[in-house]
Structure 1
Amino acid sequence: MKKTKVIVLADNAKTSPSRLLRYIASLKIPGIIAKETCFGGYIEGEAELVDELAKKIREFERNRIFCRDRGYPIWDKRRCRAFRGGGPREGFHQLEAEQKVLDKIGLALDKIDKYGVMPMDEVLKKEEKLLKKEKPLSVEKFKEIVERALKNV
């Protein structure tokens, strides 16, 4: 069974899409098709090989390279801009928005690697402490903010 994966590089990755594709090509895995994109690339082939390759790619720059399954094969005429007359494909803007937060996710993963995962009871204690600091906004104050905002529209 064939499978396609999307490989997305975080903005703070040291790897570029072209370097990533050179790395994939250097592995010389038969039956794997790779395509460079502005955000990283696609890999396609037998499901087991693709999953194995995705793990290797992630280890290349662990907390800066992210992979997910793609519903369509590379060069699928329903999705490929070359066949649809250009313009962004469906879902591109969502992928673009997701990519913008990957650098922050990578930094969080770095901290987890360095310090481990905080136990849930500690998380809940910190949350409770933060919530006690926050004062609820009164209805009157909220109404005033909304009215001021509407006057500026």
Structure 2
Amino acid sequence: MKTKVIVLADNATTTPGKLFRYINSLNEPIIVKETCFGCYIEGEEEIVDRLAQKIRNFERNRIFCKDRGYAIWDKRRCRAFRKGGAREGFHQLEAEQKVLSYIGLALDEIDKNGVKPIEEILEKEKKILEKERKLPVEEFKRVIEKIL
């Protein structure tokens, strides 16, 4: 058995409910649990891995998957058995979810334009850093004197 976490980026057009219904419509022998950030899926390893790729393609670059170490209804992790509260790792997942929209936009750019050579990326970074460098105090004083 294998469990995967399916997480929606903030800029996904799919909702957890829509994702849940889509996964159930695939009629695969898995367990699906809707969550506030997406879904959990659980089943035989090869089925879960194959479905994870299919689910990601449902809304490319906005749906992300990762393995989960515990079964869906594991009493050590499930809030229903622990009397509520955030489960261990929830806050980490919440922090990870916040950057997924940016990762999705970067993946969109790669899909559209391909991977740029590292030299081009480093040159662009150098220009940005140079543009945002701090102004030396003496140069700042000269600018102020010109204005006044």
TM range (shorter): 0.7 to 0.9
Matches within 5 A, 1:4-153: 4-30=3-29, 32-135=30-133
Which runs of at least 4 in structure 1 moved beyond 4 Å after TM superposition? none
- Distance, in Å, in 2 between the alignment partners of 1:74 and 1:8 is 15
Q: Which amino acid aligns with 1:105?
A: I
Instruction: Give the aligned length.
Output: 136
Structure 2 residue matching 1:95: 3-state secondary structure: helix
- Deviations 1:11-48 (CA, angstroms, capped at 9, x unpaired): 11111111111111111012x11100000010001111
- Distance, in Å, in 2 between the alignment partners of 1:107 and 1:66 is 13
- Distance, in Å, in 1 between the alignment partners of 2:129 and 2:33 is 47
- Deviations 1:92-120 (CA, angstroms, capped at 9, x unpaired): 01111111111111111111111111111
Structure 2 residue matching 1:117: 3-state secondary structure: coil
Structure 1 residue matching 2:40: 3-state secondary structure: strand
**What is the aligned-residue RMSD (CA, Å)?**
1.5
Compared with structure 1, are the counterparts of its residues 134 and 15 closer, same or farther at alpha carbon in structure 2 (3 Å cutoff)? closer
Unaligned runs of 5+ in 1: 139-153
Compared with structure 1, are the counterparts of its residues 132 and 11 closer, same or farther at alpha carbon in structure 2 (3 Å cutoff)? closer
- Percent identity between the aligned chains? 74
- Deviations 1:26-84 (CA, angstroms, capped at 9, x unpaired): 11012x11100000010001111000000000000011100000010101001000000
Structure 1 residue matching 2:72: 3-state secondary structure: coil
TM-score after normalising by structure 2: 0.86
How far apart are 1:127 and its partner, in Å? 2.6
Tell me what 1:145 maps to: none
Unaligned runs of 5+ in 2: 137-148
Q: Which moved more, 1:37-46 or 1:115-124?
A: 115-124
TM-score after normalising by structure 1: 0.83
